[in-house]
């Protein structure tokens, strides 16, 4: 009887929905096995990261919160010009990809095959408003890794407050530009989302 009552209450109780895009983004980031860090688009400060990012980079959310990827991951052999181009490209197209030599907390260097994705539209990206996601993949070489690009595409589709303005065609075009369903991207790829 108690189980039946519990089942009925579950059916009629309201599911807790994320209240903001930030809450929804945090929930999606936490549910992903891909290392992801969520940043404030205004200044690049980290507002959230998942366990996979912490395991890859060595920083906990407490250590990373309020700091930037630049502060935490760049080191003596990081191509700073390529890193700046990555951000410029993100601001002009809402998405970008580069392979950068980064450093873990313990100082170990690694090739970071990085996709940045802005959540919002191009106008909010240019103004530096909203949220940026960084999808991190550790690569063996500077040529990058095979990427299942469906995940950045799903994040963009589900979290963009202006999704209806883009339409499915524009989102599908961005997905194909990122390398298809399970393709690899060229080293310096940019897409317009």
Domain boundaries defined on the chain: 19-177
Min mean pLDDT across 30-39, 64-73, 100-109, 153-162 is at: 153-162
The CATH class of 19-177 is alpha beta
169 falls in which pLDDT band (50, 70, 90)?
A: very low
CA–CA gap between residue 162 and residue 158 (Å, rounded): 10
For residue 2, what pLDDT band results from cuts at 50, 70 and 90? low
Q: What does the alpha-carbon distance between residue 11 and residue 135 come to, in Å, rounded to a whole number? A: 36
Q: In a 3-state reduction of DSSP, which class is residue 166?
A: helix
pTM over 0.75: no
List the strands of the sheet with 46-49, edge to edge.
Answer: 46-49, 36-40, 131-139, 109-119, 95-103
Q: Cα-flanking dihedrals φ and ψ of residue 85, to 5°?
A: -65, -35
The span from the CA of 87 to the CA of 100, in Å, is 13
Terminal alpha carbon distance of the chain: 52
């Amino acid at each position: 009887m108690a189980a039946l009552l519990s089942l009925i209450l579950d059916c009629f109780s309201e599911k807790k929905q994320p209240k903001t895009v930030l809450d929804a983004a945090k929930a999606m980031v936490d549910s992903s096995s891909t290392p992801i860090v969520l940043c404030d688009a205004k200044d690049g400060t980290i507002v959230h990261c998942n366990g996979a990012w912490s395991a890859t980079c060595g920083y906990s959310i407490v250590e990373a919160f309020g700091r930037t990827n630049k502060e935490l991951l760049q080191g003596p052999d990081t191509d700073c010009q390529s890193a700046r181009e990555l951000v410029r490209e993100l601001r002009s197209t809402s998405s970008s990809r580069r392979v950068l030599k980064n450093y873990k907390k313990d100082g170990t260097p690694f090739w970071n095959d990085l996709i940045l994705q802005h959540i919002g539209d191009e106008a909010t990206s240019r103004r530096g408003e909203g949220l940026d996601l960084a999808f991190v993949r550790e690569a063996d070489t500077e040529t990058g890794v095979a990427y299942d690009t469906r995940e950045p595409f799903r994040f963009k589709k589900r979290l963009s407050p202006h999704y209806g303005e883009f339409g499915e065609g524009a989102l599908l075009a961005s997905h194909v530009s990122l390398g298809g369903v399970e393709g690899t991207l060229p080293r310096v790829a940019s897409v317009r989302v």
